[in-house]
Amino acid sequence: MTSLDKPTEDTTDTTANPEHDARAVTEAALFEAFGGMRGMIETVLPGLLFVTIYTINKDLHLSAIAALAVSLVLVVVRLVMRDTVKHAFSGVFGVAFGVVFAMMTGNAKDFYLPGMLYTLGLGLAYIITTLCGVPLIGLILGPVFKENLSWRTRNPGRKKAYAKASYAWGAILLAKCAILFPLYWWADTTQFGWVLIALKIPPFLLAVWLTWVFLAKAPAPIDVFAEMEAEEKAREAAARSAE
């Protein structure tokens, strides 16, 4: 899906292709917003380490400490590389809440409960905000595309695309919850942990791909920052003319 995968010997002049440019911008924005491959690894690795260690020795404390430690290491690596840390930090908070829940109850399965509740709440938020006319995916991606909330009133085609994408995210996350919550009660910790790990990436990739499909076909975003700069330059020019 990424523009990095295109052939190196491409003789087509893509700079003159507005559709290609729109798709490239959409790809870059989605990778920035959702963390790309590295963000996915940071999301999966702590839980994978937890369930692997627990499967081997059934030691809740060791599994929890290892998951929290690797989350902190991921944050430190990003800080050292002076990279964006929001995805790594969100992973640390998620793992920390899971560790607290599991330690309080003594049930290793509760390590996953905060993340499940977050997924449920996020899925509902995507649906509810869209029904209210303010699709959550638009609130997330608007600043990334430098359009802020201009899509709400000035770009109806883009608002429609954001609505479709938000419904897709909501449906996918709620479907994931419909699988996980029954298993939370019925499956043992190791079985549940491996199922949860298996359901980490595929639903996420499906939601991102659908978002890309909807936005690639939508009207281009309105760059409100460029508009503000142009207005500021116009005012400065008018002031110089008046002098």
Mean pLDDT (the chain) is 83
% of the chain exceeding 90 in pLDDT: 42
Query: Considering the domain boundaries, does residue 37 fall inside one?
Result: yes
The average pLDDT across 53-74 equals 90
Query: Considering the domain boundaries, does residue 1 fall inside one?
Result: no
Query: Considering the domain boundaries, does residue 2 fall inside one?
Result: no
Most confident of 77-91, 98-112, 119-133, 199-213: 119-133
Strand runs (DSSP E) across 166-223, as ranges?
none
Residue 15: predicted pLDDT: 46
Query: Considering the domain boundaries, does residue 9 fall inside one?
Result: no
Query: Considering the domain boundaries, does residue 133 fall inside one?
Result: yes
What per-residue string of b and e applies to 9-27 under the rule 16 or more CB within 10 Å gives b? eeeeeeeeeeeeebbbbbb
Backbone angles phi, psi at 71, to 5 degrees: -65, -45
Query: Considering the domain boundaries, does residue 212 fall inside one?
Result: yes
The average pLDDT across 13-42 equals 65
Instruction: Go through the chain and tell me how many residues it has.
Output: 243
The average pLDDT across 68-81 equals 83
Residues 156, 133 contacting (CB under 8 angstroms): no
Query: What confidence tier does 9 reach under pLDDT thresholds 50, 70, 90?
Result: very low
Query: What confidence tier does 6 reach under pLDDT thresholds 50, 70, 90?
Result: very low
Report long-range pairs for 199-204 (Cβ below 8 Å, ≥24 apart).
200/40, 200/43, 200/44, 200/47, 201/40, 201/44, 203/172, 203/173, 203/175, 203/176, 204/34, 204/40, 204/43
| Number of independent structural domains in the chain | 1
Query: Considering the domain boundaries, does residue 7 fall inside one?
Result: no
Three-state DSSP class for 123? Answer: helix
Range of the domain at 89: 14-242
Query: Considering the domain boundaries, does residue 121 fall inside one?
Result: yes
Note the pTM of the prediction, 2 decimals.
0.80
Query: What confidence tier does 231 reach under pLDDT thresholds 50, 70, 90?
Result: confident
Residue 7: predicted pLDDT: 40
How many Å apart are CA 191 and CA 189, to the nearest integer?
6
Gyration radius (Cα) of the chain, Å? 22
How many Å apart are CA 159 and CA 52, to the nearest integer?
43
